[in-house]
Amino acid sequence: MKGSAQAVDFMQRWLEGAQVQGKSPKTIEAYQRDVGGFLGFLSNYHGGDIGLNSLAGISVRDMRAWMAHERGRGLSARSLARALSAVKGFYGWLNVEQGVDNAAVASMRGPRVKPSLPRPVAKDDAREMLAMVDIQHKEAWVGARDMAVLLLLYGCGMRISEALGLNRADAPLPEVLRIIGKGGKERILPVLPVAREGVEAYLRACPHELPADGPLFIGVRGRRLGARAIQKLMLGLRGQLGLPASATPHALRHSFATHLLEAGGDLRSIQALLGHASLSSTQVYANLDQTRLMEIYNRSHPAAKGS
């Protein structure tokens, strides 16, 4: 970032602090991209060096110009809101570490973002997918492995990174599993018997010796299984069953939450199972359930049909 060495140094120190706090590599990468883009814009916009005094003097007009620039290059409202949040986080660090208290940045409001409803896989489709997993590979142990992974995603609500992050020492899986999830947050997760049995079936079929300190799920070369393999599996199943592109590994986690709610689960319990820090993150499943209820009403109720 030409002419902005001091600003970049501040950003790097902020990012290092975020790493120490346990932020994920992807979060750090997003922070660097968003705040780096912001500093680059300021350097071009003002045509000079961006140092501490420049950062302290950023005005509402500057902020609006940056946001207009971002929208002009095609950034979505959601992405811009995320970028603004990163910039505010950076300025929060500047306030603590350098005494920069900029009201213009702190008061800036991002664009309104309409919450996107998750797109779960329907119950029947989920059953069909599970029924077809074992015929996707010639090697029976690979099919058993993939079945075990999908059962953890759909039956337990795990993130794919959480399932693939399990080690051999974690099996046999207990009835209740302690998971370290996103942002280093810990949660307690009940493990359905069918998921535990799926993992045991995989271990019985696996031809490789799995050391206790090594991965539970491995690829054909013996290394820890990557998310790409499960994404490829879901791609194949989507094509065979005629499912939409939204039927991804993460959609199975959405399905776990949605189907629990439909069966009478309460939001607080589902929040704990998913590991959401805020109930508002879980609330989208209630919104989805309400949306489906209205669709059924409009399609089925005699008054809605005009009879």
Per-residue pLDDT reduced to its tens digit, 102-155: 999 988 988 776 655 557 778 888 889 889 998 898 899 999 999 999 999 888
- Computed over every residue of the chain, the mean pLDDT equals 81
Q: Report helix, strand and coil shares of the chain as percent, to nearest 5.
A: 65, 5, 30
CATH fold, domain 123-298, is: hpI Integrase; Chain A (1.10.443)
Q: Which two three-digit tokens encode residue 190?
A: 């009940």
d(CA 258, CA 287): 10
d(CA 28, CA 33) in angstroms, rounded, equals: 9
Q: In the Cβ-directed half-sphere of 95, how many Cα atoms lie within 13 Å?
A: 12
Residues marked as catalytic: 159, 182, 250, 253, 276, 285
pLDDT at 218 over 80: yes
In this prediction, residue 70 carries a pLDDT of 92
For the chain, the structural domain boundaries read 5-107, 123-298
Whether the model clears a pTM of 0.75, i.e. scores above it, the answer is no
Q: Which CATH number fits domain 5-107: 2.60.120.260, 1.10.150.130, 3.40.109.10, 3.60.21.10?
A: 1.10.150.130
Q: What is the 3-state secondary structure (H, E, C) of 103-172?
A: HHHHHCCCCCCCCCCCCCCCHHHHHHHHHHHHHCCCCHHHHHHHHHHHHHHHHHCCCHHHHHCCEHHHCC
Give me the pLDDT at residue 158, please.
Answer: 85
Q: Which amino acid is at 238?
A: R
